[in-house]
Every structure is written in structure tokens, then in C-alpha cells.
Amino acid sequence: MINLKILFEDNHIIVVQKPVNIPSQADKTGDEDMITIIKQYIKEKYQKPGEVYLGLVHRLDRPTGGVMVFAKTSKAAARLSEQVREKQMCKKYLCIVDGKMEKEKDIFTDYLLKNERTNTSKVVSQDTKNAKQAVLDYQVLKYNAITHLSVVTVNLHTGRHHQIRLQFASRGHSLYGDQKYGTRGRGKQLALWAYSLSFLHPIKKERMEFIDYPEKVGSWKILEE
């Protein structure tokens, strides 16, 4: 059982930090996942008998760490899921990319096609069957001329499969430690972190924002340089 870092909790939602390399929900590996971990925490803390309800309303890829919100009631789950569909939930990421970006800030728009068999995606033309539009904007925080790496903040407009990783890699700026699309840091931890999450509280309707930065270890030491 991981040491669960809770950023906020009430009767309706729980906001936590997902550590890297832990699945958001159970998968074929059978490894410990966030849903199981949080359910166990709720069951033990509140001494709940029987099955604990916990709604998954968004996901982070297994190698990505950062802020996640889970619903503790079906009503909260429905309302948060609607915010995801209506793009009212705002997700921002930190990433370390190869090279120096051509622009300090920009918008990327592409069309991506997922390959279910290989669990990868690729950039395709707009008229490709089953292609989905992917949009993000980014801003460069810093560039290290010695390592030739850039720290970038990303604001996701859409939530496509491997979107950030693929959109940067397709422009020659793959994420450091990306085993699928990368060129730098093979064997290292993927340098992608969901540092900010904002949404309307499903019951109180108040705008909430949670910020949680990665520890400045490993690749993230670049943040304090």
C-alpha cells in the first residue's frame, strides 16, 4: 500500500496525488491501482462495511504522476464526468522535452489515430477514418543549454491517447524518458506530470484548483537549476 497523498477530501470527492507507474484503475497486470488503494483507504478510515463506491472520472497514463480527482458518490461522478465532456475540467502538465522549442509559447493542433493492438497513436491527416482532433497550448519555463532540454507547461484542450507525448515527439521534441515515442532518456522515468487540476465542485458549484509539483529528484532536478 502506497502512502496516499490526499490534497482534498469531503463527502463528495477526493483529490489525490497519483504516483508514477501506478495505474489509474485495475489493468491486466494485476498491479496495485489507484481505485483499489483509495477504496481501501475509505473503507478503513470510515469503517465502511461492504463495497465502497468510487467513481473514476478521468485518467492519467501509468507512467504519469500528478493530481487526480475521484467521486465518492454517483451524483458527483455524473457531474464531474459531464464537466470532462463539456471541457470544463482544466488539466495542466509539466514536461521535459528534448531540444529548444522554436517558440516560447504556441498551440499544437493535430489529428491522432490510436492503434488498439500496439497501444500507440500516430499523427494522421484530418480526413483519416477514426482520427480525432488533438489540441494543446504550451509555454516554455526554462531551457538548459548544457543538457539541451526544455521545461514546458502544457494546457490540454482535448484528452487524446498519448496526446502530449505524441504532439511534441512529432515535432522533434520528444518527452525525456518516453519509451514509446522518445529519443532521449531511454530507461529513465517519463518526465510528464499533471501539476494542476481545476473543476467546479459537483455539489457546491465552486471553482476549485489543486496544484502539486513533482519532487525535484531524477529528471526533475532541472526545476531547481
Task: Note the pLDDT of residue 1.
Answer: 59
DSSP E strands in 51-206: the ranges are 55-56, 65-71, 90-98, 105-115, 120-124, 132-144, 149-156, 192-200
Range of the domain at 11: 5-224
**Sign of the alpha-carbon torsion through 104, 108, 113, 116:** positive
Which residue in the block uniquely carries the three cell numbers 499523427? 123
The model's confidence at residue 186, banded by pLDDT at 50, 70 and 90, is: confident
In the predicted model, what is the mean pLDDT of residues 28-36? 90
Asked whether the predicted pLDDT for residue 225 surpasses 80, the reply is no
Judge whether 61 counts as a catalytic residue.
Answer: yes
pLDDT at 92: 97
The proportion of the chain whose per-residue pLDDT surpasses 90, expressed as a percent, equals: 89
pLDDT tens figures, 64-77: 999 999 999 999 99
Centre a 10 Å sphere on the Cβ of residue 28 and count the other Cβ atoms it contains: 6
Q: Which of 32, 28, 11, 90 is nearest to 58 (CA)?
A: 90
Query: How far is the CA of 165 from the CAs of 29, 134, 151, in angstroms?
Result: 23, 12, 14
Residue 2 pLDDT > 80, yes or no? no
208 pLDDT exceeds 80? Answer: yes
Q: Which three cell numbers stand for residue 122?
A: 500516430
pLDDT digits (tens, 9 = 90+) for 78-91: 999 999 999 999 99
pLDDT digits (tens, 9 = 90+) for 98-152: 999 999 999 999 999 999 999 999 999 999 999 999 999 999 999 999 999 999 9
Q: DSSP per residue over 40-86, as a string? A: HHHHHHTT--SPPP-EE-----TT-EEEEEEESSHHHHHHHHHHHHT
Q: Say what percent of the chain tops pLDDT 70.
A: 100
CATH of the domain at 16: 3.30.2350.10
Q: In the chain, how many domains are there?
A: 1
The band of 42, judged by pLDDT with boundaries at 50, 70 and 90, is very high
Selecting among 61, 110, 178, 212, the annotated active-site residue is: 61
Q: What pLDDT, on a 0 to 100 scale, did the predictor assign at position 212?
A: 97
- Residue predicted with more confidence, 200 or 222: 200
